[in-house]
Amino acid sequence: MKNKIICYFLIIFFITTNLKANFDVDAKTAILQDYLSGEILYQKEPDLSIYPASMTKIMTSIIAFDLIEKGDLTFDEKFIISENAWRLSQSGYSSMFIMVGDMVSVENLLRGIIIVSGNDACVALAEGIAGTEEEFAAMMTSKAKEIGMENTNFSNSSGINDPDNYSTVRDILIMSNYLIKNYPEYYEMYKETTFTWERTGGDPITQGNRNPLLYKNFGADGIKTGYLAVEKFSLASTIKRNDRRLIAVGSGFISKNSRSKQSAKLLTYGLTNFDTIKLFDKEKSIGQVEVWLGKKKKIEAYVKKDIYKTIPKARKKNLKAIMEYSGPINAPISKDQVLGKLKIYYKDELLEEHDLLSYENVKKLNIFSRILTSINYLIWGDV
C-alpha cells in the first residue's frame, strides 16, 4: 500500500516568468544564482562562450587551496621568481611587482593574485606548483571538468589574452560556487580591500582590491574582476546578507562604471525580489513512517541534505512536501535504508524529490510476537 504524508505546507509563488521578463542587465551575458537553494534567478545567454580574463584567477587559487588542504602545499612555502613571471610585472599588466630571484611565500602570491590581480604572481605560483605554466593550466582544466565546468578550457593561469582560454558565465558561476563552498576560510582573502607587498630592495607597495563592489555598503565580499579588449569588462560577484548569499557573473559590460552598476543591479534584483527559506534540515527527523512486524511501530525518517527553496516576494501559492512510501515497511530496517521519497510540489507539479532515509535500526519481532501481531491484524485490521 502506498502511503502519503503531507509533512510540510508553505504559501509560495514559484513561477518567476513575469518577474524575469521585466528585468534586464546591460551585459552581453550574465547569470544570477541563489547559493543555498541553487536556483537560477536570472540568466542572459549564460552558455555563450567568453574569454574569462582575470576571472581565470579564481581557478588558479582553487588549485592552490586544493593542494594546501591535501597537505601537499603550505602558505609558508616559498617559490623563486623566474624571469618569465617577472616580465608580467612590467607596465601594462596588473601586477604584484615581484622581482627576478625573489623568494615569495605562497600566501603572498595568493594575496597578490586574489586582491591585486597580479599576473606575475599567477605565473610564479603556477611554475612553483607545476614546473611550467602549461602544466599548471592542464591542472586547471582537469579541475574544471571535475567540478562540472563543461564549456571551459584554461591555457594560462592569469587569463591574459589567448583564444584557447575560454569559458561561460555559467561555468564561472559553478567555479565560484565551488570556491565558496569548499574553502570558506581561505575565501576570506577575497574580501580584503588592500594588500601590501614588502618587496625586496624597495619601499612596500600597497594596492587596492580591483573589485568595485567591495567598496559599496551592501554586503559584497568577492569575487573577481576581469578585462580584455576583445571581451570588455567582466565580474564574478557575490553578496551575503545574514545567512543568504547570491552569486552573479557577467561579461561584456561596456565600461568599468557599467560593470559596477550593472552587477550591483543584478545582485539587488535577487535581494529585493526573492526570499530563500529552509524547508528541511539535513539528518534531522522530518516525520514518521509505519513499520510492519518490527520492535517499533513507527520509525523517524530524514533526508541527507538541507533543502532550501528560493521564492519570489511578489505573489504566493501553495507549496507542499509529501513523504511517499510503500508501506508499512517490513522489519528489519537498517539505519540509512531508503524508505521512500520526499517529494516537493507546486500545486500538482513535482519540483524535486529526495531519498527518504531511516533514522535508526529497527529489529524484527520474535516469532511469537510476529504471529500474534499477524493474528491481530487479520481479526481487527489494526496492529
Catalytic site positions:
54, 57, 117
* DSSP H or E stretch at residue 320: strand 317-326
Q: Residue 146, class by beta-carbon neighbours within 10 Å (0-12 exposed, 13-18 middle, 19+ buried)?
A: exposed
Grid cell locating 122: 599567477
Per-residue burial over 95-106, b if 16 or more Cβ lie within 10 Å, else e, is bbbbeeebebeb
Whether 299 and 329 have beta carbons less than 8 Å apart is answered as: yes
Residues 6 or more apart whose CB falls under 8 angstroms from that of 223 comprise 55, 58, 176, 179, 190, 211, 236, 237, 238, 247
153 residue type, one letter: N
Helix axes 119-130, 57-70, angle to 10 degrees: 40
d(CA 299, CA 328) in angstroms, rounded, equals 10
Give the three-class secondary structure for 197. Answer: strand
3-class secondary-structure state, position 316 = coil
The number of angstroms, rounded, from the C-alpha of 99 to the middle of its chain's C-alpha atoms is 36
Q: How far apart are CA 322 and CA 353, in angstroms?
A: 9
Q: At 192, give phi and psi (nearest 5°).
A: -70, 130
Beta bridge partners of 278: 308
